[in-house]
Amino acid sequence: MKYWMSILAALALTAVAPASLADEAAPDELIRVLSEQVLEIVRNDTRLQEGEVDSAIERIEAVVVPHFNFRRMTMLAVGRDWRQASQEQQRRLMDSFYGMLVRTYSNALTEYKDHTIDFRPLRMSPDDSTVRVQTAVRQPGAQAVSVDYMLERTEEGWKVFDIVVAGVSLVTNYRSAFAQEIRNGGIDGLIQALEARGGEGMRFPGHES
């Protein structure tokens, strides 16, 4: 009886292990896989080489969006006024902020082509709920730029909530500019300002319905 129990236990373990491994992929491993996939798209998307960015962006979105907590990113960029925003406003803030980010970085997509990424050893203890994955982006003929990814532990695995480029946090760096817009025109004023810079009608593809 004991014998059978242990075999059953072993079977159950092997059946469960691969699935839970995939969910609990180590944060640095996750970033490595994501950046490899993105670089692969940037290098090989034929339409991107001809100057047409839309299809590449769609492919990158499909890879990246599930692994970002974009709600928290927007919240951190907006700061304290996030609490004053209605659910609808929060949703529109996410859409317009997302639109602006996509617009900003899609201009530069082709410039990342010959970049390579080095990973620094990950320092974390098993019960950390927030972790920083440190990388250095190298490009020929220029000094390496440090790019750090901040990740948080969620039920669906690790999720990125900030990217720190050369010491500048993507999300908190927007905060005082956002606060300025909110002071001048309220939450809706900020949404309009963001929409003006990202093109209207942009939607964040990862909304929880």
Partner 1 sequence: MNPTLPRRCARFVLPVRRAAVVLTAMLLVGCASTPANPDDPLEGFNRAMFAFNEGVDTAVLRPAARAYETVTPGLVRTGVGNVFGNLGDVWIGANNLLQGKVGDGMSDLMRFMVNSTIGLLGLLDVASEMGLQKNDEDFGQTLAVWGVGEGPYLVLPIFGPRTLRDAAAIPVDRFGDPVANIDHSRTRYTATGLRVVHGRARLLSVERTFEDSTLDKYTFMRDSYLQQRRYKVHDGEVPFEYDDYDFFDDGFDEQASLLPARTGVEVLVDSALAQLELNRAEGAAPGRTASNIYFTMGNER
Which residues in this chain contact partner 1 in the complex, by CB under 8 A? 75-76, 78-80, 82-83, 100, 103-105, 107-108, 111, 130, 132, 134, 140-144, 146, 148, 150, 161-162, 164, 166-169, 172-178, 180-181, 183, 193, 197-198
* Distance in Å, CB of 23 to partner 1, minimum: 24
Least separation in angstroms between residue 198's CB and partner 1 is: 8
**CA distances from residue 184 to 19, 52, 108, 114, 189 in whole angstroms, order as listed:** 50, 37, 31, 42, 7
Contact 31, 149 (CB under 8 A): yes
Q: How far is the CB of 114 from partner 1 (least distance, A)?
A: 11
Closest separation between CB of residue 141 and partner 1, Å? 3
Nearer to partner 1 by Cβ, of 49 and 130: the residue is: 130
Q: Identity (one letter) of the amino acid at 165?
A: V
Query: How far is it, in rounded angstroms, from Cα 159 to Cα 153?
Result: 7
Both tokens of 136, joined, read 């250095």
- Rg over alpha carbons for the chain, rounded to the nearest Å, is 20
Give 18 or 121: the residue with its C-beta nearer to partner 1: 121
